[in-house]
Structure 1
Amino acid sequence: MATPAIPQRPIPNSIKFLFGGLAGMGATVFVQPLDLIKTRMQLSGGGRSSFSVGSEILRKEGVSGIYTGLSAGLLRQATYTTTRLGIYTWLFDLIKSPEGAPPGFGTKMGLGVVAGGVGAFVGTPAEVSLIRMTADGRLPLEQRRNYKNVADALLRIIREEGLFSLWRGTTPTIGRAMVVNAAQLSSYSQAREMLNVYIPDGIGLHFVASMISGLITTVASMPVDIIKTRIQNAEGSLSMKKVVVDIVKNEGVFSLWKGFLPYYARLGPHTILTFIFLEQMNAWYKRQ
């Protein structure tokens, strides 16, 4: 007589949030240098290649300089990614049909928008610190902020500019997160379902679905990311409209996609590693 299969218990919501944050932090360790190059290019008014920016960082700031802002990047993932992936997977499971059928693509995009907006608000203080720390090396010595780490950055911003300065650029940050998550989470889920007919479930499927998701997300989110970066790096108040007008007028429309290659080189691998780490942790938990 065959032994009846033991039904798997669903993963608790607390574990979903934990795994989401750990997956994002693990990916950040690998892609922080690319995030640094991307930020420097977005703040630069002239046309420069990612290679020249990377070479300049190594020459002027040393090998350790390519990991400038890592502490802020990790805190950002611990707050933003923990929240967005946790909320998305929780809502995704919540609205699945009783038979276990996944929601439609439009619903997935809606879940991504909600998860991204909430996650962005939670993660904005770390985001502001990250932008400030990664931008510092391009300034003259006398103008640098010289934050020691993310804790120092947060405390000094509060002391020197006020508590609410930690949420500078919240509107474009939330807007970017909504675009990123609507594109990234929905396209990954959809690509994973469609490709599973041809590719068995495993790292290979997760890799291909993540590559597709990363490319779609890069094209959709770059303009909002550049606007967000410039607002958060400024010490004074800047409106989204003024930033957009200045970029288009002084640098051209296509400058809204400035740094496309390092952005995709950062977002693509980060998307791949995040989802692979997340899938592997979920699989490990279910086995245990």
Structure 2
Amino acid sequence: MDYLIGGLAGVGAGFFSNPFDVIKTRMQLQGELKARGQHAIHYKNVVHAVYAVVKADGLTALQKGIVPALWFQLVVNGTRLGIYQTADNRGLIRNEKGATSVSKSIFYGALAGAAGALVGSPFLLIKTQLMSYSHISIAVGYQHGHNSTFKALKQIYNKQGLKGLWRGSVSTMLRNSIGSSSQIVTFSRLVRSEHRKPKL
């Protein structure tokens, strides 16, 4: 149940944050492999980027990559929160007095985050490729015109094997392990401190 609830919570957050991820990806790719002053400026700032994307590709373009993005959230958060809760249920993050150990909590939070990122990495790859796919007037970098998430996974696997599906996974694992350990530890400490407060 922890896997499911954690995953669905991530899906909800991912749906509303996806447009910002689209804009971030487009702006990061702007001027890719070009010297300063030798590339077109399609996106001047965040607001202008939203305008440019909607004008060229329509309002729905702000949700490009939403399917793999939601799969990524489901898998990553379901895995990391499920692993952490399982460790907690088995007493692996507690000291001999039964209190939460900060060091153990950080370790299992980081481990859970890395595991989630490893499992979800192929979806992150497809999400990024779909987010960067745009009308030729504002296109930057190589354009991946995937028809669907699972066709894209199959196509990459056929061309590059399993290694191709997990490109960039190590950096994603490092990022998620740091974020997960800090988020989970802080949240678990706050929740436990609230539970210890005397009721009025």
TM-score tier, shorter chain, comes to 0.7 to 0.9
Conservation of the 8 A alpha-carbon contact between 1:40 and 1:134: yes
Secondary structure (helix, strand or coil) at the match of 2:10 reads helix
C-alpha separation in 2, matches of 1:89 and 1:44: 41
Give % identity.
Answer: 28
Distance 1:59 1:179 in 2: 37
Residue-by-residue CA offset, 1:53-98 (whole Å, 9 max, x unaligned) = 2221111111110110011111112221111111011112222659
Which one of 54, 60, 66 corresponds to residue 56 of structure 2? 60
Contact 2:68–2:123 (8 Å) recurs in 1: yes
Q: Which amino acid aligns with 2:111?
A: V
Match of 1:41 in 2: 27
Which residue of the partner structure matches residue 4 of structure 2?
Answer: 18
CA contact (8 A) 2:7 2:77 kept: yes
The 2-side partners of 1:22 and 1:99 are apart by: 34
* Structure 2 residue matching 1:144: 3-state secondary structure: coil
Match of 2:13 in 1: 27
Distance 2:165 2:99 in 1: 37
**TM-score, normalising length from structure 1?**
0.57
Over the aligned positions, Cα root-mean-square deviation in angstroms equals 2.7
Q: CA deviation at 1:25?
A: 1.4
2:186 counterpart residue number: 187
Show the counterpart of 2:66. 70
For residues 238-272 of structure 1, the C-alpha deviation after alignment (integer angstroms, 9 at most, x for no partner) is xxxxxxxxxxxxxxxxxxxxxxxxxxxxxxxxxxx
Q: Equivalents in 1 of 2:148, 2:177: separation in Å?
A: 28
Per the normalisation by structure 2, the TM-score is 0.80
Give the one of 127, 130, 135 matched to 1:130. Answer: 127
When residues 168 and 194 of structure 1 are mapped into structure 2, their CA distance, relative to the original with a 3 A threshold, is: same
Instruction: Check conservation: 1:24, 1:78, Cα contact below 8 A.
Output: yes
Q: Give the aligned residue type for 2:88.
A: F
Q: Which amino acid is 1:65 matched to?
A: A
Please list every run of 5 or more consecutive structure 1 residues that lacks an aligned counterpart in the other structure: 1-14, 201-288
Unaligned 5+ runs, structure 2: 32-40
One-letter code aligned to 1:78: L
How many residue pairs align between the two structures? 184
> Alpha carbons of 1:97 and 1:154: their partners in 2 closer, same or farther (altered >3 Å)?
closer
1:180–1:154 CA distance, 2 compared to 1 (3 A): same
* 1:163 Cα deviation after fit: 2.9
Higher helix share: 1
Q: Does residue 148 of structure 1 match 2:144?
A: no
